[in-house]
Amino acid sequence: MILAIDVGNTITILGVYEGEKLIAYWRIGTDKERTSDEIGMLFINLFNHKNLDPAQIKDVIIASVVPPIMYSLEHAIRKYFKVEPMVVGPGTKTGINIKYETPREVGADKIVNAVAAYEIYGGPLIIVDFGTATTFCAISSKGEYLGGAICPGIRIAAEALFQRAAKLPRIDLVKPARIIGRNVVESMQAGIVLGYVGQVDYIVNRMKREMKESNIKVIATGGLAELIGRESSSIDIINSLLTLEGLRIIYDKNK
C-alpha cells in the first residue's frame, strides 16, 4: 500500500492505495503549527479507525503548497511509517511539459492535477480546482501545461464579505433557490455561489477560445467542485479526488 498526501492551504487530503484502488481517504484541516508527533498520531488514529495497519504502508508521496508544514510532516512520515517520503517537485517525472514562463512557479497541486486529468481523460482539457484559491489550468492535446488563471476561492469571498461589511452575516455555502434573494442570506448565496458559476463559465469559455483546439474537456476538482459543477454549463466531469489519483500516477512513473 502507498499513502498519498495532498497538502493544501486549508485542507489536507490523505489517500491509501492498494495498487490502483483507493481503499481509504480522509480530509483534515491543514495546520502549520502541528508538531511531527501531533501529525503522526493523527495519521495513526485515522488508520486505526479504518482498521488499516500503518506497517503495511511501503511508500508515501506528498504534494504540498505549504512549505512551512513540510519539516514536521516529513519527520512524522519517517518516524511513524518508517519510510522516506517522495515529495513532488523539480526533478520528479510527470510526463507534463510545462510551458509557464517560470516552471518553478507552478504549484505542485496543479502539476499533479494535470498529470491525473491528462492520463485519465486525455487532452486537450481545462482543470478547475476549487480550493483556497479557484484555479484554472489549460492542458494541450500534447500534454503541455499552457498556464491558467487564479481567482480568490469561494470561501475567501464569503469570509471577506462577513469581515468587511458590518451588517452581513457569515453564511453557509449552498445553492440558493433563486437568483433574486428575498433576504440577506439568500442574496449573499446568490451572489457568491451563482456568481462563481458565472465566473467559471466565462473564464472557461475564454480559455477555450485562446487554446484554439477542439473537443476540450473541462474537469472540476476540489472541495466545492460538486456545488459549482452541478450548476455550471461548461464543466463536463467532476472528480473531487483528482489530486490523489495524480499522486498515485506520479508515484508509478517514478518507481
Nearest-10 crossing angle of helices 36-49, 70-81? 50
Any catalytic annotation for residue 109? yes
Where along the chain do its domains lie?
2-87, 97-243
Q: Does domain 97-243 have CATH number 3.30.420.40?
A: yes
H or E stretch covering 39:
helix 36-49
Question: What pLDDT score does 207 carry?
Answer: 97
- CATH (one of 3.30.910.10, 3.30.420.40, 3.40.47.10, 3.40.50.800) for 2-87: 3.30.420.40
Beginning with the edge strand found earlier in the chain, give each strand of the sheet holding 59-64 in spatial order.
21-29, 11-18, 2-7, 59-64, 86-87
pLDDT value at residue 102: 87
CA distance 94 to 132: 24
CB 247 within 8 A of CB 2: no
Instruction: Give pLDDT tens digits along the chain (255 positions).
Output: 999 999 999 999 999 999 999 999 999 999 999 999 999 999 999 999 999 999 999 999 999 999 999 999 999 999 999 999 999 988 889 988 999 888 888 889 999 999 999 999 998 999 999 988 999 999 999 999 999 999 999 988 888 988 888 888 888 888 888 999 999 999 999 999 999 999 999 999 999 999 999 999 999 999 889 989 989 999 999 999 999 999 999 999 998
Query: Do 191 and 168 meet the contact criterion of CB atoms below 8 Å apart?
Result: no
Q: Which of 89, 84, 38 is nearest to 247 (CA)?
A: 89
Q: How far apart are CA 83 and CA 61, in angstroms?
A: 10
User: Does this chain's domain 2-87 share its CATH topology with 97-243?
Assistant: yes
Q: What is the per-residue pLDDT for 216?
A: 97
Q: C-alpha angle 93/81/4, rounded to 5°? A: 40
Cα(148)–Cα(138) distance, rounded to whole angstroms? 6
- β-pairing verdict for 2-7 and 11-18: antiparallel
Q: What is the pLDDT of residue 167?
A: 85
Pick the catalytic residue from 6, 59, 109, 129. 109
Contact present, 215 and 198 (Cβ < 8 Å): no
